């Protein structure tokens, strides 16, 4: 929903594109940092409790966001919103692990379906967001979270079994075992690097780059010594196929979200479309994840993960190479065709990577591996926001769109080359 609200927020608070992208960045940064922590809380205190807590926080953010007097306060509301939504996926993963023996289903496969739903809802968000902005302004993008959170709490209470009794563990002990220094070092690294990138149009701020490098070094030092690290670097070093999956997912999300965050601002500014119309035109970008999931899974069974993934990668290269056409024509049918052209091959890439994740991850750490997969998604989204901010730093016109579309196309090429270079190890073990 926020993708189609960026132009409205820029005008409302009189800020530039680079500044307004922090509305996106702070959300995904908070999500990337907190999802592993929420996973530990769900394991220790119960998935039902943690999910309900998260939805209460979402309702609070939704109720308070519309009263933000400045963009800084909008960012604060988005941080609170991210704290709440960060509880959703880890809680689902923890819940499925406990329900699988009773239900007789494969928890890893169902968790993969939940990730597909996560991405597919990106097709619904712009439509709902555009309609809400048209009817009630940007504030409605926050208000809508209140009834959604209440619906989630009530339906979970009715449909999901309560948490089983467990030993009481002080929250202080849980936090001490959650590598808070590692979380902070990771956050400092990402924030410093983003600030360096967004400052480039006015000249490089070398102190920010030095701070990012120092924070990264501190993060690596901490993770190699922590008893329970935020990111188990030793585990990753010993499982290169899993690392490749994460790296490919970061690049893939730069392609998807670079398009998703960039097109609304370009069409609203240059094409003079309303937020509601832009929201509808973005539907094909993510809707195919849900429509094509089953056929692509059958194709993977026939072709294998690597061949299916490469098919999607080549399709993304062709589709993103056509994005500069929007500089010549922003007619609605051109936009719809381009969004479908990007969305269909991305569905191949996403579903292939999701299956690769569960083939590469040892069964004992599927939940942890899934949490890091979501962290990789957040890093890709943050990177995409930075790319959009840099591309539109001066204005939002045809030349600026050409810059952004060429960067997105370059990311698609890098993704496909990396896929081809992984050989047959991309999916690790070939058993399902």
**How far apart, in whole angstroms, are the C-alpha atoms of residue 326 and residue 77?**
34
Tell me the pLDDT tens digit for each residue of 154-171: 998 888 878 777 777 777
Instruction: Kindly state the average pLDDT of the residues 400-428.
Output: 84
Residue 75 or 4, more confident: 75
CB neighbours of residue 56 within 10 Å:
15
Q: What pLDDT does residue 365 have?
A: 65
Residue 266 or 177, more confident: 266
Poorest-pLDDT segment among 185-194, 229-238, 242-251: 229-238
Poorest-pLDDT segment among 45-49, 343-347, 394-398, 417-421: 394-398
Q: What pLDDT does residue 216 have?
A: 94
**How far apart, in whole angstroms, are the C-alpha atoms of residue 228 and residue 305?**
32
**How far apart, in whole angstroms, are the C-alpha atoms of residue 68 and residue 77?**
8
pLDDT of 91 strictly over 50: yes
Instruction: Kindly state the average pLDDT of the residues 266-281.
Output: 86
Tell me the pLDDT tens digit for each residue of 25-68: 899 888 888 887 787 788 778 888 899 999 999 999 999 999 99
pLDDT of 424 strictly over 60: no
Tell me the pLDDT tens digit for each residue of 293-334: 888 888 988 998 899 999 999 999 999 999 999 989 889 899
pLDDT of 411 strictly over 60: yes
**How far apart, in whole angstroms, are the C-alpha atoms of residue 350 and residue 115?**
9
* 180 burial level (CB within 10 Å; 0-12, 13-18, 19+): middle
Q: What pLDDT does residue 366 have?
A: 64
SS3 147: helix
Poorest-pLDDT segment among 125-134, 243-252, 312-321, 353-362: 353-362
Measured CA to CA in angstroms, residue 164 lies from 44, 98, 169 at distances of 11, 10, 14
Model pTM score: 0.81
CATH class of 2-178+230-425: mainly alpha
Q: Is the torsion defined by CA of 368, 113, 151, 275 positive or negative? A: positive
What tokens appear for 73 in the block? 């306060």
pLDDT of 106 strictly over 80: no
Q: What pLDDT does residue 426 have?
A: 42
Among 92-101, 279-288, 343-352, top mean pLDDT goes to 343-352
CB neighbours of residue 120 within 10 Å:
18
Measured CA to CA in angstroms, residue 109 lies from 97, 105, 390 at distances of 11, 8, 38
The distance of Cα 400 from the centroid of its chain, to the nearest Å, equals: 24
**How far apart, in whole angstroms, are the C-alpha atoms of residue 68 and residue 74?**
6
Q: In the chain, what are the domain boundaries?
A: 2-178+230-425, 179-229
Q: What pLDDT does residue 307 have?
A: 92
Q: What pLDDT does residue 237 have?
A: 85
Buried b (16+ CB within 10 A) or exposed e, 245-269: bbebbbbbbbbbbbbbbbbbbbbbb
**How far apart, in whole angstroms, are the C-alpha atoms of residue 421 and residue 328?**
35
């Amino acid at each position: 929903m926020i993708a189609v609200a960026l132009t409205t927020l820029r005008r409302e608070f009189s800020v530039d594109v680079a500044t307004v992208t922090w509305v996106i960045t702070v959300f995904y940064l908070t999500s990337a940092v907190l999802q592993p922590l929420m996973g530990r809380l769900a394991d220790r205190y119960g998935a039902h409790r943690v999910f309900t807590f998260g939805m209460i926080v979402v309702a609070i953010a939704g109720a308070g966001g519309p009263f933000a007097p400045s963009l800084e306060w909008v960012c604060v509301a988005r941080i609170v919103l991210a704290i709440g939504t960060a509880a959703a996926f880890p809680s689902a993963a923890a819940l499925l692990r406990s329900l699988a023996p009773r239900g007789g289903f494969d928890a890893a496969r169902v968790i993969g379906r939940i990730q597909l739903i996560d991405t597919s809802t990106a097709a619904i968000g712009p439509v709902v967001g555009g309609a809400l902005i048209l009817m009630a302004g940007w504030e409605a993008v926050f208000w809508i979270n209140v009834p959604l959170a209440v619906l989630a709490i009530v339906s979970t209470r009715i449909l999901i079994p309560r948490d089983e009794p467990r030993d009481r563990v002080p929250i202080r002990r849980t936090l001490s075992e959650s590598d808070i220094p590692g979380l902070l070092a990771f956050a400092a690294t990402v924030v410093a690097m983003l600030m360096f990138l967004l400052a480039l149009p006015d000249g490089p701020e070398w102190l920010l780059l030095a701070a990012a490098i120092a924070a990264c070094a501190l993060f690596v030092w901490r993770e190699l010594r922590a008893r329970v690290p935020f990111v188990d670097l030793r585990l990753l070093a010993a499982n290169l196929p899993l690392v490749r999956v994460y790296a490919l997912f970061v690049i893939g999300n730069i392609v998807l979200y670079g398009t998703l965050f960039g097109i609304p601002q370009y069409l609203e500014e240059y094409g003079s479309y309303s937020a509601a119309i832009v929201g509808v035109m973005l539907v094909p970008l993510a809707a195919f994840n849900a429509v094509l999931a089953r056929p692509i899974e059958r194709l993977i069974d026939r072709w294998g993960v690597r061949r299916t993934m490469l098919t999607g990668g080549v399709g993304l290269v062709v589709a993103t190479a056509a994005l500069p056409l929007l500089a010549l024509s922003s007619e609605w049918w051109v936009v719809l065709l381009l969004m479908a052209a990007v969305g269909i091959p991305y569905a191949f890439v996403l579903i292939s990577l999701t299956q690769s994740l569960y083939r590469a991850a040892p069964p004992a750490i599927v939940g942890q591996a899934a949490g890091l997969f979501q962290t990789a998604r957040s890093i890709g989204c943050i990177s995409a926001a930075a790319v959009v901010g840099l591309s539109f730093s001066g204005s939002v016109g045809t030349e600026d769109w050409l810059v952004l579309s060429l960067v997105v196309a370059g990311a698609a090429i890098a993704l496909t080359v990396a896929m081809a270079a992984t050989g047959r190890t991309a999916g690790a073990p070939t058993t399902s």
